[in-house]
Amino acid sequence: MSEREKMLAGELYDASDEELVALRLQARLMTEKLNLTSIQFSEQRQDLITSLFGATGSTLHVESPFHCDYGRHIHVGDNFYANFGCVILDVALVTIGDDCLIGPQVGIYTATHPVEPIARKQGREFAQPITIGDNCWIGGHAVINPGVTLGNNVVVASGAVVTRSFGHNVVIGGNPAQVIKQVPLSS
């Protein structure tokens, strides 16, 4: 397996692999261009985001600055909004559903490192995908950790650190995040 195939399979891989370095450089150059493109040029910004992400729905808006590792592993649905300072470490697939709002300074991190110090010292890494359902709102400064799945209609309180998965229709918050209440579904 190539290092990229290992990475996408969730296995330990070498992030200094030439192919991965080149792909990260390509994404960083695109995000740099996005972050330097004036908001007056919304169509150009839209084209950059669409080219950077692996898949997009209709109507997406990403405020600058925005940062990611590869871009191509980010898949977002219709009506996606990411506020200022969003960081998505998309070493594994990040799937975000329709009608999702990402607050300022949110971190979505698929990348992780071994707990075992020798493997970590050798520069080994691995990743776990993140899935966020439809109609979710992630408050400012929240962190979504590797391997998390959030169901539909989930609200993540500002500053929450999400270390495990949650089902549909809940408000979660705290460190580590826990259910605060159920989301009332209007008729």
Residue 45 has what pLDDT? 95
Cβ 162 vs Cβ 176: under 8 Å:
yes
Catalytic residue, candidates 75, 113, 141, 168: 113
The total domain count for the chain is: 1
Residues spanned by the domain of 21: 3-182
50 within some domain: yes
Active site residue 113: yes
The residues near 8 (Cβ < 8 Å, ≥ 6 apart) are: 73, 92, 93, 127
Q: Is residue 187, in this structure, part of any structural domain at all?
A: no
**Residue 35 CA: distances (Å) to CA of 28, 32, 85, 89, 174:** 10, 5, 10, 17, 31
CB 126 within 8 A of CB 8: no
**What does the pLDDT profile of the chain (187 residues) look like in tens digits?**
999 999 999 999 999 999 999 999 999 999 999 999 999 999 999 999 999 999 999 999 999 999 999 999 999 999 999 999 999 999 999 999 999 999 999 999 999 999 999 988 888 999 999 999 999 999 999 999 999 999 999 999 999 999 999 999 999 999 999 999 998 877 5
**Is 47 inside a domain boundary?**
yes
What CATH number should be reported for the domain holding residue 131?
2.160.10.10
Angle subtended at Cα 157 by Cα 156 and Cα 160, rounded to the nearest 5 degrees? 85
